[in-house]
Each structure stands twice: as C-alpha cells, then as structure tokens.
Structure 1
C-alpha cells in the first residue's frame, strides 16, 4: 500500500495557525522603533533659554573661537575675546579716533602792540650852491625903487642860479641882467622869481636888477639865491 505525500504548509497558514508568531513580530518592531527614537533624541542638543545676544552664538552646531585666542576687537592682549562664528565678521567696539584740532594761527591779541618802528632817517642836506647873492638898492624915487642882487660864483665850474624876492605887496615893472643873457622871470603879487638864461662862470659875477612900485618899502621880506639867504639885509 503506497503512502500518501503530505503537502508543505504555506507561510500564511503557518502564521495564522501560530498566534505567538505575530506577537513576537510586533514586539521586535516596537523594540526597533524604540531604539531609533532613543538614537534621535541623543543626537539633539538642548540650548539655554537665555543665550548670548550675538547672532554668531545663536547658530546651533557652529564651532566658536577659543576664549584664550587673540582679541579681534582691538582689546588688550590676553583679554578674553567674544566668540566668533566662522564666516561672520566680528563687530568692532573701538570708536574712531577724534581728529586733533590744528594749531591756531590767528592774529595776535588786541592787547599786544607791535614794536614801534624806527623813525625814518632825515634826508641828506642839499648841496650848497656855489653861487651866492647880496641884496642892494640902486635908486629910489616917488612910489618905487630899483634894486639888485649881485651874484658871485665862488665855485670852480659854471652854475645856473635862481633868485627869489618876497614883498608884502607891490607891482613889478621890469627886471633884467646887466651884461649877460637874459633869463625868464615873473611876479605873482608877492614873490618875484628870476632864473638864469646861461650859467654863471667860475669866479664870475653879475647883477640882477628889478624895478618895483607901490611896495611901501625897499627891503624885501626875504631874498634867496638857490635857497640860500642873500647877504646885505
């Protein structure tokens, strides 16, 4: 008698026929989920509720600079520097230096007086003319007179000359030079002026004569030759 072959049970029928297998599978799944959850919780970091105000410190997971490193804010050596996040520029706390005011170059105070300057030196005296004069009266008559200034050149070369007479009043009739070329003359009511027509030679002499009326006197107020007072007054 031949033996009949039993058919192998399928996985679905095995699971349904054994309830404890389902329980074991559920327990394994829960254990795996629990392990995964614990691992994710450990990977997280907790942060304090009151952190630093620096934006660089509030970034999670970023390394910070060492507290003993060189200061980036210009502080004293050895002082603890603020944490700096990579890639972010630190905020400087150093105020810019104030410009030094330039030295004043204003004018001196009003109460400071400059040193008085030295008085100017007087001009050198004019050279004395070599031609001199002597005043005299040649003739007098009713209402007028004829006078003269005798000119003498005591120098060693010829010189020109100028005669000036001043009267309080009067009228000039005429004037001339005896024995020499005539020169220009004039009278403005008080001052009579006669200039030489030619230079007077060295050692020579010549009289300048003039006719005046209504002067009231034969003596002039002043008589000069080249600025030098005439003799004979």
Structure 2
C-alpha cells in the first residue's frame, strides 16, 4: 500500500512537472532528458576526447555540452526558440558568464555566481517571447545554457589550451565545473519562466 502511494505520488509530481514544462514550450522528451537524462549521462557516460595537445586532452561532456546543444538546436530549428532572439539572449548571458567565471589550473573553469545569468536568461525569455508565452521556456533555456557554455567555456578555450600541465590532464568542455552551472541555470531559467508567465499575462490583461 505504501509503495503504491509513493509510486502514485512520484507519477503525479512527474506529470505536474511535465505539464508545466509543456505549457512553456517543452516537449515531454525534452523535459525528461533535461531533468533525468542529463544527470544519468553525467554520472555514467564518459567524456568524448576531441583534441590532444602535449599533456592536455580536450574532451566534451555529454551532459554538459552535447545534451544542451542538441536540445537548444532542436528548439531553434522547430521555431519555438526564434534564432535572433536566442542570439541576443546567448550574447547577453555569455558576457555575464564570462565576467563571473575563471579558469583555475588543476580545477578547470569555475563560475562564482550562477544565479545572475539564470535570472537574466529568464527575463530575456519573457521579454523576447513577444507575448507568445510558449516561447518563454525555450528562449530562457537556450539563453541560459548556451550563454554559460559559450561565455565560461568556449570563449576561454585559448586560455584553457595554453595551460601547460606537467602531467597528463583531461580538460572537459561542459565538464564538472560547468555542468552544474548549465544544468542549474537551465532549471532556474525555466522555473523563473514558469513563475513569471502568469505575472506577465496579468500585467497584459490590466492594460
């Protein structure tokens, strides 16, 4: 009986979450990949090496790079996240992420504050959705996840590759230091998008 109630409760929570995400433009598949697939991939799927220079191996993280890139590309291609709006959002968040991030030898790239770019991404989603409310989530997600990835990791590639490690070192794009920021930024951006949608609609209704 208790197990049955727990299963029902979990199923209900998952249904509510999926419905909330779908209301702001996410498909069921994207929601499951974002919430569950990313965590599973980060824990169990190894990084993919793409470049080897002296003692440094540059790789990409499936959860912190491939998944957000694929989901973002899918949203842009489908038109749910318009390209120009996303370009603006990614650029703004990337500048903020760059200012808040730092490459530390032996640790990788660390972001001091993931909340500011997440909040900005959510606001960007609301403003640039142009009252098409199911675009809030996709624009917020693309702006937040891609902005952090570009500003904190991609822009710093020269700095990362210039690091001369005395021993064999694996550096990962979207790895541990950035995955947390990208994952949490995406979740926070979408959550804020969900919370701000009723406020935006209410404000519009009062005009």
TM > 0.5 between the two? no
TM range (shorter): under 0.3
TM-score normalised by structure 2 residue count = 0.18
More helix by share: 2
Larger Rg: 1
TM-score normalised by structure 1 residue count = 0.17
More relative contact order, 1 or 2 (CA 8 Å, 6+ apart)? 2
More strand by share: 1
